[in-house]
A and B are shown apart, each in its own frame.
Chain A
Amino acid sequence: MATKRKVLLMGKSGSGKTSMRSIIFANYIARDCNRLGPTIEVEHAHVRFLGNLVLHLWDCGGQESFMENFLVSQKDQIFKNVQVLIYVFDVESREFDKDLRYYQSCLEALLQNSPQAQVFCLIHKMDLIQDQDRDDTFKRRESDVLRYSELAARQHANQRANAVCQCFKSSIWDETLYKAWSAIVYKLVPNVNKMEEKLRKFGQILEADEVIMFERATFLVIAHAELREHKDLHRFEKVSNIIKQFKLSCSKMGSKLDSIQVKNANFTAIIDGFTPNTYVMVVLPDGNCSATTTLLNIKSAKKHFELLEQQQ
């Protein structure tokens, strides 16, 4: 039985909602996003994610007239039964205060109608900020957003103690987009803990440094097991981004990616199809280990993970 999750995508017009949806779920490349037109009212998209988890994306047009409608006449329809609200801010917006007020109204409407919903805020288009200013700008924006979240939540204190959301910086031009979306998806996948536990066991058997599981279509990280500490905290989204880019190059010449092996003297990394909905990446600590053995092991572990996925 498929589980449906309603995901609202909101934010000012031109903040990049449809662009990021297209990149993550429709295999667009960042460059092509300037061809996208503005979204009128609401665009619905059903995304099958991990087989029996279906994300029902409501991409809500951000022009003011639509926003007013959403907040007044269509309030119930839009904000009922929401599991996740993703609110996108344009970091370069000239009317950030206005954006924040709209955000507050949306959040209030959401808390009234679906008090259990999770809220994520993306401070988008970070690539437009000079490298050295990025952290400062993001911190300033984040504290603004958190303040307004607090304001919105205060009136609904009895329903939910805290609506304070998580903020992510993002840009369609680098891996930050994957970091933000992986975190969102992580919250949506049921059984993540069980999956990670199994993955850890699998990694131990393989004597691997790290095992990561990716969703097949989007290459977002759903689960990972770190068996040896790695100092690069951003590696997951980097790998997502790298592989996704390569997948797109493959499809440009009418082919599809099957598996990747990369090695040097210090490591071997193997990326291979896993369950029908996932890819797996195994990182081994040695450049000379047998890739064939690992591939065989991945194959034999497949069945168990398929079962685990069906249980959901």
Chain B
Amino acid sequence: MSDHSDNEEDDDYRYGIDLDDDEYDVRPTVILMGLKRSGKTSIRKVVFQKMSPNETMFVESTPRITKDRICSSFINFETIEFPGQMSPFDSELDARATFKTCGALLFIIDAQSDYNDAMTTVADYFVEAWKINKAIKFEVFVHKADGLTEESRVETKFHIYHAVREMIKDKLEYNQENVDSITITYHLTSIYDHSIFEAFSKVVQNLVKQLPTLERLLDIFNQGSNVTKSFLFDIVSKIYVATDSEPVEMNIYELCCDMIDVTLDISSIYGSGDNKQPFDDSSAAIIRLRSEQVLFLRQINKHLALVYIMKEEHFDKQGYIDYNFMCFKEGIEKVFLMKNKNGIRDS
């Protein structure tokens, strides 16, 4: 991160698109915070290390401030965990450095516990972080929602939203600032279903400045190839970085997630070992369903894959879909390479 100079704070992030030189590989950093036992480590293990949710029972609590980095994924992900009453804004810690490079700040609230303390902490931390870096995207995960009934989920989220807003309002008005200058997004999440991946996808999409271009590219690809729905996935985390402009149907998204699992799991059994990676240049998968739908997965680069679904009747000319895909892949590469070039010149 040493090359991350100050003049970039209001500028773009650069993405690691198959650059061998990792020095230029500066990707958005996401910081994860929350009170004790709110589920930070579990989330990290489930989303980024493919731990199965029921195994998180054995995850031990993180004893001290822990910084952890995940670099095998499209996004650069850092978790900072603060036990008990220790604040990240303590004078001994370099809060400025931490939050200057922060893209998104996630705060996890355990919805099944008494969350009054958590709400005060959210308000405190967010205001402090906002003073350091006004570009941070603030997100609250109302976590462990699986234990709540359908109605109380919405109620809890609503309650937290209002309480936190009031607290932030008090703090900001003291400094003559408007409460709306801090926008916070709330997500209901659980590691036992796809909601955690969905929420993370939204967080990451917020950080991808090229999102409109990517969406446009996906739209063009869909039209040209008669594809129903397409997602650009980060393979490691099953987060979708972008999708086309059609609305996302949750069950299609889940099926695409599961397809990535199938592809990676089978590839790691039969197509890896002896320094061979399960996910490589020619990774691809086709799954046909009885409902006359076909799912496709194609590799874009070492982090990303395109997953798309189409009607079987349109899958008669594989040649031109292949060609469209090649064009799409080139397009994606150009989008990110351009960013990289600009970024290098700027700094």
**A interface residues, Cβ below 8 angstroms from B:** 30-31, 127, 130-131, 173-174, 209-210, 230-232, 235, 238-239, 242-243, 245-246, 249-250, 252-267, 269, 283, 287-288, 291
Binding-face segment, B34-42, B66-74, B261-269: B261-269
Is A262 a contact partner of B252 (Cβ separation < 8 A)? no
Expressed in whole angstroms, the Cα–Cα distance for A242 and B263 within the complex equals: 10
Residues of A within 8 A of B58 (CB): 130-131
- A249-B255, A256-B291 known; 15 new pairs, CB 8 Å cut-off, are A173-B52, A231-B273, A238-B269, A249-B254, A252-B251, A253-B254, A255-B291, A258-B288, A263-B284, A264-B278, A264-B282, A265-B283, A267-B267, A283-B270, A291-B286
* Nearest Cβ on chain B to A274's Cβ, whole angstroms: 15
* Nearest Cβ on chain A to B281's Cβ, whole angstroms: 6
Is B289 a contact partner of A258 (Cβ separation < 8 A)? yes
Residues of B within 8 A of A259 (CB): 286-288
Give 11 CB contacts A-B under 8 Å.
Answer: A31-B192, A242-B265, A243-B262, A245-B258, A249-B258, A253-B251, A254-B291, A257-B289, A263-B271, A267-B271, A269-B266
Is B192 a contact partner of A250 (Cβ separation < 8 A)? no
Expressed in whole angstroms, the Cα–Cα distance for A258 and B312 within the complex equals: 12
Expressed in whole angstroms, the Cα–Cα distance for A22 and B54 within the complex equals: 19
- The answer, yes or no, to whether B293 is at the interface (CB within 8 Å) is yes
Residues of A within 8 A of B200 (CB): none
Is B290 a contact partner of A258 (Cβ separation < 8 A)? yes
Is B262 a contact partner of A246 (Cβ separation < 8 A)? yes
Residues of A within 8 A of B255 (CB): 249-250, 253
Picked from A127, A246, A269, A291, the residue with its CB within 8 Å of the CB of B270 is A269
Interface string of B27-71 (1 = CB under 8 A from A): 000000000000000000000000010110010000000000000
Is B269 a contact partner of A235 (Cβ separation < 8 A)? yes
Residues of B within 8 A of A231 (CB): 273
Residues of A within 8 A of B288 (CB): 258-260
Which chain A residue shows the least CB distance to B54?
A173
Expressed in whole angstroms, the Cα–Cα distance for A242 and B266 within the complex equals: 8
Residues of B within 8 A of A250 (CB): 255, 289
Expressed in whole angstroms, the Cα–Cα distance for A262 and B286 within the complex equals: 7
4 closest A-B pairs by CB: A256-B290, A255-B291, A258-B288, A253-B251
* Nearest Cβ on chain B to A50's Cβ, whole angstroms: 21
Interface centre among A31, A242, A245 (most CB of B within 10 A): A242
Residues of A within 8 A of B272 (CB): 266
Picked from B54, B266, B289, B290, the residue with its CB within 8 Å of the CB of A262 is B266
Picked from A127, A209, A230, A260, the residue with its CB within 8 Å of the CB of B286 is A260
Expressed in whole angstroms, the Cα–Cα distance for A243 and B263 within the complex equals: 10
* Nearest Cβ on chain A to B274's Cβ, whole angstroms: 9
Knowing A239-B266, A246-B258, A253-B251, the reply to whether A263 touches B287 (Cβ < 8 A) is no
Expressed in whole angstroms, the Cα–Cα distance for A173 and B293 within the complex equals: 30
Knowing A256-B291, A258-B288, the reply to whether A264 touches B252 (Cβ < 8 A) is no
**B interface residues, Cβ below 8 angstroms from A:** 52, 54-55, 58, 192, 251-252, 254-255, 258-259, 261-263, 265-267, 269-273, 276, 278-291, 293
Expressed in whole angstroms, the Cα–Cα distance for A209 and B273 within the complex equals: 15
Picked from A253, A258, A260, A283, the residue with its CB within 8 Å of the CB of B285 is A260
* Nearest Cβ on chain A to B266's Cβ, whole angstroms: 5
Is A265 a contact partner of B281 (Cβ separation < 8 A)? yes
Residues of A within 8 A of B54 (CB): 30, 127, 173
Expressed in whole angstroms, the Cα–Cα distance for A245 and B55 within the complex equals: 17
Expressed in whole angstroms, the Cα–Cα distance for A235 and B267 within the complex equals: 11
Is B262 a contact partner of A264 (Cβ separation < 8 A)? no
Is B251 a contact partner of A262 (Cβ separation < 8 A)? no
Residues of A within 8 A of B259 (CB): 246
Is B279 a contact partner of A264 (Cβ separation < 8 A)? yes
Interface centre among B55, B281, B287, B288 (most CB of A within 10 A): B287
Interface centre among B263, B269, B286 (most CB of A within 10 A): B269
* Nearest Cβ on chain A to B41's Cβ, whole angstroms: 16
Is B52 a contact partner of A255 (Cβ separation < 8 A)? no
Is A242 a contact partner of B261 (Cβ separation < 8 A)? yes
Expressed in whole angstroms, the Cα–Cα distance for A220 and B189 within the complex equals: 34
Is B291 a contact partner of A262 (Cβ separation < 8 A)? no
Residues of B within 8 A of A264 (CB): 267, 271, 278-280, 282-284
Residues of A within 8 A of B55 (CB): 127, 173
* Nearest Cβ on chain B to A31's Cβ, whole angstroms: 7
Expressed in whole angstroms, the Cα–Cα distance for A173 and B56 within the complex equals: 12
Knowing A239-B266, A257-B290, the reply to whether A262 touches B285 (Cβ < 8 A) is yes
Expressed in whole angstroms, the Cα–Cα distance for A269 and B278 within the complex equals: 13
Residues of B within 8 A of A266 (CB): 270-272, 276, 280
Residues of B within 8 A of A260 (CB): 262, 285-288
Which chain A residue shows the least CB distance to B273?
A231
Residues of B within 8 A of A257 (CB): 287, 289-290
Is A265 a contact partner of B280 (Cβ separation < 8 A)? yes
Expressed in whole angstroms, the Cα–Cα distance for A250 and B276 within the complex equals: 30
Knowing A252-B251, A258-B288, the reply to whether A239 touches B258 (Cβ < 8 A) is no
Expressed in whole angstroms, the Cα–Cα distance for A252 and B265 within the complex equals: 21
* Nearest Cβ on chain A to B71's Cβ, whole angstroms: 22
Residues of A within 8 A of B281 (CB): 265
Knowing A235-B269, A255-B291, the reply to whether A263 touches B262 (Cβ < 8 A) is no
Which chain B residue shows the least CB distance to A127?
B54
Residues of B within 8 A of A253 (CB): 251-252, 254-255
Residues of B within 8 A of A288 (CB): 282
Is A242 a contact partner of B271 (Cβ separation < 8 A)? no
Residues of A within 8 A of B271 (CB): 263-267, 287
Is B286 a contact partner of A261 (Cβ separation < 8 A)? yes
Residues of A within 8 A of B273 (CB): 231
Expressed in whole angstroms, the Cα–Cα distance for A283 and B272 within the complex equals: 13
Is B291 a contact partner of A287 (Cβ separation < 8 A)? no
Residues of B within 8 A of A263 (CB): 271, 282-285
Which chain B residue shows the least CB distance to A292?
B318
* Nearest Cβ on chain A to B295's Cβ, whole angstroms: 9
